[in-house]
């Protein structure tokens, strides 16, 4: 497999599949579904092959492909994965077929729907493997377009404003990031992330910006900070970091549940991936760290605590889980911003930073798996209730659907961070690393854990327990087919909770190497 351009193949496969599916006639619904599933499972098989062939003793890039593309502009076709990239490729390969398998309720423009999902998968694969800004940005934007149409064409009653808000927010962030990288290219003549990271570490980037640009007589520090702000905005909107989050609750609530699985399961990880792969390596020594990091850490704490409180205040299950998604990724942001600091009171700062980064990587994967599964359950609720997903629309369901409530309860406890399930390990490592690095931020963020426990238990109480609403006396339990769909994600929650080394062995060398490269 190492002799094959495997990353190119895994990226082009869903793109080719989408082109085939979109050409089918509107009446060929069954064929469209089968072909889309076939291409998504083929991508999963290739991702599993990557995982098997990956050298877990190395933090270096692997499966690298590098070819000149537009030499006069410094553009190369440059792809590769380390532990982080491989983990995100695997997450994408798992969540996309999960989403397609529960898309049976989509009965309008079926070939177009499935083609857009495959185009989105191609954009995600490209984003997690590309290492040159030129074609990385193409994949970054490629993921936005199908996501917009998936919400706009198949969403709920308020899908039009929700899709428009989603598009405008993410496009503004993308434009800001594009302008920032064009400024970097003007100053350095480079688009290569690896080369730019080296320029950032040795201080050449900041001096090049000042020498070639010198906007409004800004000196080196403020100018680098302006460029940094443009890149930050692009990723902050995508995660999202508060206050750039207002597009997310409406988009998640109005999108069909299978599409929301993709948005929360994988697309939100694009922003976190950008923070780790691009923002930290290139700008960590250019940002007037103490002043900027204090603000960013405060924003991470606000993201964690406020989103948990907002989730508790909601009465719609989709909006609760939407704010819960912001809350969980807030812990990832907290870990990243702690790693970017100088070490706080940590005796062995490098060890704590590696622990925090390992936790961030795990949290990204675990949240993607758990959140996608929870929205799958919400989709099943909608199918059985005629589209209802209000917190107070149900009650006592465990009496008539014990399997449904039991399995969804496992996913909810995973989201809560119960020891023994996958959600616990990532959060534990993040807090283990952050407490010595930024103790005040870690202490305040614990409030988010408490409020999360409250609203998760509220869901369990309002939906599953209490007196049975007579309206749901014949509420059907999960079918054998639905149980089969859920067995793999539920099993992974236990496996990764009890044996996290399955992932840690892959990502730890990458985390350690990143910490070494971030020393300043």
- pLDDT tens, residue by residue, 149-207: 999 999 889 999 999 999 999 999 999 999 999 989 988 888 999 999 888 888 788 77
**CB-count burial class (<10 Å; 0-12, 13-18, 19+) for 68:** exposed
pTM across the whole model? 0.94
Q: Given the structure tokens 């299950």, which residue do they identify?
A: 317
Helices (H), 130-267: 133-154, 159-188, 193-202, 204-212, 220-238, 247-254, 257-262
The pLDDT value given to residue 306: 95
CB atoms within 10 A of CB 215: 12
Smallest Cα–Cα separation from 114: which of 245, 3, 23, 234? 23
Q: Which two tokens stand for residue 432?
A: 């283990």
Tokens of 206: 């900041």
Q: What is the signed CA dihedral for 204, 205, 207, 208, rounded to 10 degrees? A: 110
pLDDT of residue 443: 94
Q: How many CB atoms lie within 10 A of CB 168?
A: 12
24-36 CB burial, b ≥16 within 10 A, e <16: beeeebeebbebb
CB 278 within 8 A of CB 193: yes
CA 138 to chain CA centroid, Å, is 18
pLDDT in the model for residue 342: 66
Task: Name the phi and psi angles at 276, rounded to 5.
Answer: -80, -45
Dist CA 289 CA 276 (whole Å) = 16
* Numbers of helices and strands, H then E, in the chain: 21, 2
Calpha distance 476→380 (Å, rounded): 10
Question: Over the chain (520 residues), what is each successive 10-residue block's mean pLDDT?
Answer: 82 96 90 96 96 92 92 88 96 96 91 96 96 93 93 92 93 93 89 89 79 66 80 92 91 93 94 92 66 87 95 93 94 93 67 93 96 95 88 90 94 94 94 92 94 93 89 92 94 95 94 83
**Which residue from 1, 3, 38 is spatially nearest to 18, judged by alpha carbons?**
38
The helix (H) or strand (E) run that includes residue 36 is helix 29-53
The separation between the first and the last C-alpha atoms of the chain, rounded to the nearest angstrom, is: 38
| C-alpha pair distances (Å), 66 with each of 273, 281, 282, 378, 423 | 21, 20, 20, 43, 36
Write down the residue that tokens 């300043």 correspond to.
520
**For residue 79, what are the β-bridge partners?**
65, 130
Note if the bond before 240 is cis, omega within 30 degrees.
yes
Digit-coded pLDDT (tens) for 218-259: 666 677 788 888 999 999 999 999 899 899 999 999 999 999
């Amino acid at each position: 497999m190492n002799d094959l351009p495997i990353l190119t193949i895994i990226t082009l496969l869903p793109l080719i599949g989408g082109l085939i599916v979109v050409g089918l006639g509107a009446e060929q619904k069954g064929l469209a579904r089968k072909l889309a599933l076939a291409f998504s499972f083929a991508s999963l098989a290739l991702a599993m092959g990557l995982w098997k062939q990956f050298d877990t003793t190395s933090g270096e890039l692997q499966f690298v492909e590098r070819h000149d593309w537009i030499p006069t502009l410094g553009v190369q076709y440059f792809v590769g994965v380390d532990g982080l990239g491989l983990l995100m490729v695997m997450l994408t390969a798992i969540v996309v077929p999960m989403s397609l398998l529960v898309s049976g309720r989509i009965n309008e423009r079926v070939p177009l729907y499935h083609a857009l999902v495959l185009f989105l998968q191609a954009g995600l694969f490209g984003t997690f493997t590309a290492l040159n800004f030129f074609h990385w940005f193409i994949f970054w934007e490629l993921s936005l377009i199908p996501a917009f149409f998936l919400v706009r064409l198949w969403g709920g009653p308020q899908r039009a404003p929700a899709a428009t808000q989603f598009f405008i927010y993410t496009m503004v962030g993308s434009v800001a990031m594009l302008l920032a990288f064009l400024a970097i290219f003007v100053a350095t003549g480079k688009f290569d992330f690896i080369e730019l990271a080296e320029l950032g570490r040795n201080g050449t980037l900041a001096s090049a910006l000042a020498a070639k640009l010198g906007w409004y007589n800004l000196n080196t520090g403020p100018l680098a900070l302006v460029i940094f702000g443009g890149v930050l905005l692009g990723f902050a909107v995508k995660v999202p970091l508060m206050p750039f989050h207002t597009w997310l609750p409406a988009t998640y609530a109005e999108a069909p549940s299978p599409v929301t699985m993709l948005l929360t399961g994988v697309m939100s990880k694009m922003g976190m991936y950008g923070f780790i792969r691009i923002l930290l390596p290139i700008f960590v020594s250019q940002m007037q760290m103490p002043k900027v990091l204090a603000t960013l850490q405060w924003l991470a704490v606000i993201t964690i605590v406020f989103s948990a409180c907002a989730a508790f205040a909601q009465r719609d299950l989709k909006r609760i889980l939407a704010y819960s998604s912001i809350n969980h990724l807030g812990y990832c942001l907290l870990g990243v911003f702690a790693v970017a600091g100088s070490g706080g009171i940590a005796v062995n700062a490098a060890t704590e930073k590696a622990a925090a980064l390992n936790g961030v990587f795990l949290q990204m994967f675990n949240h993607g798996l758990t959140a996608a599964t929870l929205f799958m359950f919400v989709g099943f609720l909608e199918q059985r209730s005629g589209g209802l997903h209000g917190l107070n629309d149900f009650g006592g369901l465990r009496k008539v659907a014990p399997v449904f409530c039991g399995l969804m309860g496992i996913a909810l406890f995973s989201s809560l961070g119960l020891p023994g399930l996958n959600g616990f390990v990532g959060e534990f490592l993040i807090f283990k690393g952050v407490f010595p690095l930024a103790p005040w931020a870690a202490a305040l963020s614990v409030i988010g854990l408490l409020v999360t426990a409250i609203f998760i238990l509220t869901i369990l109480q309002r939906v599953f327990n209490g007196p049975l609403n007579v309206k749901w006396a014949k509420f059907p339990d999960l079918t054998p087919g639905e149980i089969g769909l859920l067995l793999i994600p539920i099993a992974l929650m236990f496996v990764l909770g009890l044996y996290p080394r399955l992932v840690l062995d892959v990502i730890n060398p990458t985390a350690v190497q990143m910490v070494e490269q971030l020393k300043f």
